[in-house]
Chain A
């Protein structure tokens, strides 16, 4: 029944999270802003952190989880490695995004810490097909260009 003894580092982190919530007057309506700031500071939002946020904003854990899980961009565990997001909006689709997605997925399938995801419109239609690589936008990704970009960042 003994609760885990909190270490000083976890106490410091707790204080930082509470400060972030305080920045927004602990308003429940500021949940998304708080989540962005926490992720910015720690790279991801752990369950322990989610509990702290729920307590500070006086909302339920379920509400925090509901919002975090709705958005792909919020992460609940450690650094994701390399993230490739390939646009599957109409313009990119017509320029071969489907094939690009399949080829890229296949190309990295045996490599650790690379994830390939689909997104729906990056707003880069003029330069279709488009993708982001660790958040950076790239266009005109026909042929092997995307694979070489991936190779470059994972070198």
Chain B
């Protein structure tokens, strides 16, 4: 594909009654409120402009987009002039030409004429507009006072690793300042000074971009019409020559990007306005942190070894696959089919995940397939399926724009889902009320121009008590939506639930002490939620990663149903999915008890449909979950595992238990981009493909199926679905596909909710939200409209049960974990980028009171110990924390965060209780034993034989 650019209509689209006008004599019809500029653009009248762009509201400062309007005085700016019925506009005349040329001469008199050596040569709006206006001479000359010559020019701000700011090329159109405000919502930029001295500035006078409030989302770079804000890679390499439309592989927002390349080198990622999840916006990870895909640590050759202490031997694909197949088969011969299985990855495409689960069910011969969603959103699947009938969120992202009250619980969107957070923040700034339930004072609680109406800093592990208290208030203060309940929900389960939540034990007064928040606050927040027109719940892993994870999901579902907040825009129960394809990997049959589409392996009719299509008998016995795999391994009954793109030795709780289980296995096959932590225990390493090499689809948190297109060939020579097919074939079950599109056709054939999905239809439509069926051929943005998928909504009694993980004199603090903006998950990707500049180590956030009691100062090294293990981190004193609660991230392997976390898990789904671990913290000047051992293993388990 050659280099593609999206058109810029100058001002945002509007919704309104149709208005007819004439532009240059041509009849045009546009919605009311549309600017004359945008209307003209529709008939290819590209009125010159500099300060206008369609991601921002009109500003009217550059004075180039002047037009003549019949009957109107003067020459109004077309960007700030809305259309009117019967209006007659002239976009070009000798008078306009002269005016525009005069203005452009002024711009050029203060702009360096170095186009040929400029980074944006050929991709510069100032250059284009100057060309269109036809400036041939600048009457003012270039000798006067200016911002660009050696005497006057400011030094270039190179502080940000991904883009540079060169003030001498700035025309002060304020597009960057407005993008930071209107698109990102951070307001890190302002115009400093006034008049001729005006200059764009980040933060305070002494600050540069890196030290300012800038979050490096790139919205300003995208908005800049000159070379002032430019990607550093563009400066270094020159202009891209081709582009490919694809989908980001970081979080569950699933942003659409245009990868722009020279040859096979990605120069930059440009977020696309046509992408429905992000609408042209991006974050620091998606837009800039793609360098890991070509990092020198990438392994591109298959490797095998007899023992995990042997050095790795580089081999051909055939040899590696035969090696793995022979080992796995011999385990089956000796111990039976139940002794092997695998884990699928939420970072891989639907097609790849589908191929792996098919390989396990058909070729391995058991249902021992699980996925990393086990450790994140498994409770979402269980809880929402029980209540509503579908294991997925109920809305699209745009729905938040219609919410009146937003309840954020156990999620930190500005760090983990930044592009959606921007959308949410704009809605909050426009007047929506906000309730945050989180033990930490996250940015949404208080950050510039955002303040939560209620913050409930609960004790970790008490989500259910809080939600029951909300329901209690709604049920006892006459705030339930009786009509909705009567029409849409089960009478009997509702009656039982109503009696339950009305019990005094669920009142705010009764739970206040357990929760650690005043009853009055709980009551007022509950009233706010229950009495609004549209209340929407957004949640993350702070809900699911608890011993009552599934209960919490169902408690939210109860609350949403009881207050009538489901089945239309602006409401709903919305899981913010952690990884790019968590939704998809779950949809694709990655759970041991379910085929693709969440259908039980015990359902004969469903199983027969797969048996017929796949031509092999399948097991009706649900397989092992990940924790079960570890336990069985330690019992000597589970000995072979295929791990697709997941680093369980870093990401799963109780690391020492995980690594002991891996050590007990006879065949560990790891497929990944890098020799990750788990690979230290592997016998076979199969190189994987980065998202830039994949061909397939990702499904985001709003059930949106987005195309992922290869921008370069696989660096390792094989697509991941080809590897799964080859291993299945070598195991004795021939699996062949000509393309990943064929796999999607098979998925559609066998999965009712994907019935009308195909790569061809996705290419034509852009994206679709499942269910995509004959009844909804273009997908379903809002679910459960008119009727729940399961028929009537089901209420579940959600008794609060405190976790068994309790604080004690020995372990008096509660540790909770999370992540930060610049790093992603185990950091395998982001640690191999310049994002480390923002976060190069995991730190322990601790409240100053707790620190003072222990003699800990900011920056001290501290030991943090739980009943499971201990590790050493640096302390950061933070008033964001509630006293008694400490917090860290798990982005760096040596941090050993999961050495501390426990084996406790959600009662229904075994999702680990990452968010509650009783710990003690004390000063320490040495690494923990685990950290020392980890270094030894790193030195012995990663060796590669020298190439022959």
Contact = CB atoms under 8 A, between A and B. Distances in A.
Interface of A: 1-3, 28, 47, 50-51, 54, 58-66, 69-70, 76
B859 A62 contact: no
A65 B858 CA distance: 28
A28 B187 contact: no
B730 interface: no
A93 B205 CA distance: 34
Interface in B856-875: 857-859, 874
A62 B202 contact: yes
A62 B188 contact: yes
Nearest to A47: B204
Contacts of A76: 205
Contacts of B201: 62, 65-66, 69
B453 to A, nearest CB: 14
A47 B204 CA distance: 7
B202 to A, nearest CB: 6
Contact of A51 (B189, B191, B192, B204): B204
Given A58-B449, A66-B192, A50 B187 contact: no
A23 to B, nearest CB: 19
Interface string B603-627: 0000000000000000000000000
24 contacts: A1-B858, A2-B857, A28-B449, A47-B205, A47-B206, A58-B446, A58-B447, A58-B448, A58-B449, A59-B448, A60-B186, A61-B212, A62-B187, A62-B188, A62-B189, A62-B190, A62-B201, A62-B204, A62-B212, A63-B190, A65-B190, A65-B204, A66-B201, A70-B194
Contacts of B188: 60, 62
Given A58-B448, A60-B448, A69 B203 contact: no
Contacts of B202: 62
B207 interface: yes
B451 interface: yes
Interface in B441-468: 446-451
Interface residue SS majority, chain A: helix
Contact of B204 (A3, A50, A58): A50
Contacts of B205: 47, 65, 69, 76
Contacts, number: 70
A82 to B, nearest CB: 23
Contact of B192 (A28, A54, A59, A69): A69
A61 B874 contact: no
Contacts of A65: 190, 192, 201, 203-205
Nearest to B450: A58
Given A65-B192, A66-B190, 8 more contacts: A2-B858, A28-B449, A58-B446, A59-B187, A62-B189, A62-B190, A66-B192, A76-B205
A76 B206 CA distance: 11
B24 interface: no
Give the 8 A-B CB pairs with smallest separation, nearest first: A66-B190, A1-B859, A62-B190, A69-B192, A60-B187, A60-B448, A2-B859, A61-B203
A64 B190 CA distance: 9
A2 B213 CA distance: 21
A1 B857 CA distance: 10
Contacts of A70: 191, 193-194
A61 to B, nearest CB: 5
Nearest to A65: B204
- Most chain B Cβ neighbours within 10 Å, of A2, A3, A70, A76: A70
A3 B192 contact: no
A36 to B, nearest CB: 18
Interface residues of B, number: 29
Nearest to A26: B451
Contacts of B204: 47, 50-51, 61-62, 64-65
B193 A63 contact: no
Nearest to A57: B448
A59 B449 contact: yes
Contacts of B206: 47
A62 B213 contact: yes
- Most chain B Cβ neighbours within 10 Å, of A2, A59, A60, A69: A60
A28 B447 CA distance: 13
Contacts of B187: 59-60, 62-63
Nearest to A67: B190
Nearest to B193: A69
Contacts of B450: 58
B862 to A, nearest CB: 13
A64 to B, nearest CB: 8
A6 to B, nearest CB: 12
A29 to B, nearest CB: 12
- Most chain B Cβ neighbours within 10 Å, of A1, A2, A64, A65: A65
A109 B588 CA distance: 78
Contacts of A28: 449
Contacts of A1: 858-859, 874
A28 B446 CA distance: 14
A61 B188 CA distance: 7
B724 to A, nearest CB: 46
A121 B721 CA distance: 76
A65 B205 CA distance: 7
A61 B446 CA distance: 15
A50 B192 CA distance: 14
Interface string B197-211: 000011111110000
A51 to B, nearest CB: 7
Contacts of B451: 58
A61 B205 CA distance: 10
A58 B446 CA distance: 8
B857 A62 contact: no
Contacts of B213: 60-62
Contacts of B194: 69-70
A3 B212 contact: no
- Most chain B Cβ neighbours within 10 Å, of A2, A58, A62: A62
B858 A54 contact: no
Contacts of A47: 204-206
A134 to B, nearest CB: 23
A66 B191 contact: yes
A22 to B, nearest CB: 15
Nearest to A2: B859
Contacts of A62: 187-190, 201-204, 212-213
A61 B191 CA distance: 12
A59 B188 CA distance: 10
Contacts of A3: 858-859, 877
A88 to B, nearest CB: 14
Contacts of B857: 2
A58 B206 CA distance: 20
B147 to A, nearest CB: 16
A2 to B, nearest CB: 5
A155 B330 CA distance: 101
Nearest to B211: A61
Nearest to A1: B859
Contacts of B877: 3
A2 B858 CA distance: 6
Contacts of B191: 66, 70
- Most chain A Cβ neighbours within 10 Å, of B187, B207, B448, B449: B448
Contacts of A64: 204
A21 to B, nearest CB: 14
A69 B190 CA distance: 10
Contacts of B203: 60-62, 65
